[in-house]
Amino acid sequence: MKRLTAYVIDGHELTIRPAPLERDWMNRTNQRFAYRCLPLNIANAHGWEILNQAGFSTVWDGGERENAVRIEPDPGTHAPAVSHFGSGTLTFHIPCLFKTDGGTDLFVTGPLNRPKDGIAALTGIIETDWSPYTFTMNWQFTRAGHWIRFEAGEPICHIFPVSRGGLEAVTPEMRKLSENPELEGEYKAWSDSRNSFNEGLSDPNSDAVREKWQKSYFRGVCPSGRNGPADHRSRLRLKPFG
């Protein structure tokens, strides 16, 4: 069993949850069509989210010094973010030490597939199997003079473990598709079916209109009808922090 332990510093609070599949902007798409994209769904739920402790508004005047960022907490609260590094950076101090198994790092980034106008989350990878240090979650302003709102309970950070050295063990290579006849055949079968399906969408009485979208990848089935791997997943179900 692999472990990810959050040691919250005494006197502080931290709310972490398994990242949900749902996104407000996906709910607003026509017939919620964004949820038909399985890679998007899996990425949404690929890890845990750290939630903002108190609401506040913030703006950057375009300057490089720390005082170029203005932060206004909600009445009766203390802002959970500060301007620490300058250069239009907003910093959340995470009052917690995360510990992972040996050889496992922690990928720390912004909430996945949650775009925020005027500010972008930065990303870090931390060796949490040995490190006794806390980390900060940083956001970079992308537009000066634009007020940005962080609500209480809003995700501000997304985390998941990664194997250290895993990428360095990968040997990348580039080849022509024709060198893999089986894969090329599956691709051509998919391409032909895709074109036929898209043409059928113009006919209100067609099978394509009734099906609404092709579900082969979602179901883990190749165009030829061959099943994909037994561990194909259409949804992640992560354990909450106990």
Give the end of a domain, one of 122, 139, 163.
163
pLDDT digits (tens, 9 = 90+) for 137-178: 999 999 999 999 999 999 999 999 999 999 999 999 999 999
What is the domain-level CATH number for residue 134? Answer: 2.70.40.10
Q: Do 188 and 158 belong to one domain?
A: no
Closest CA to 121 of 168, 76, 154, 153: 154
Domain boundary among 107, 141, 163: 163
Q: Is the pTM of this model over 0.75?
A: yes
Q: Look at residues 163, 193, 222 and tell me which one is the last residue of a structural domain.
A: 163
36 in a domain, yes or no? Answer: yes
pLDDT digits (tens, 9 = 90+) for 80-132: 999 999 999 999 999 999 999 999 999 999 999 999 999 999 999 999 999 99
- Same domain, residue pair 140 and 211: no
| Domain presence at residue 242 | no
Q: What total of structural domains would you count in the chain? A: 2
Tokens standing for residue 149: 């709102």
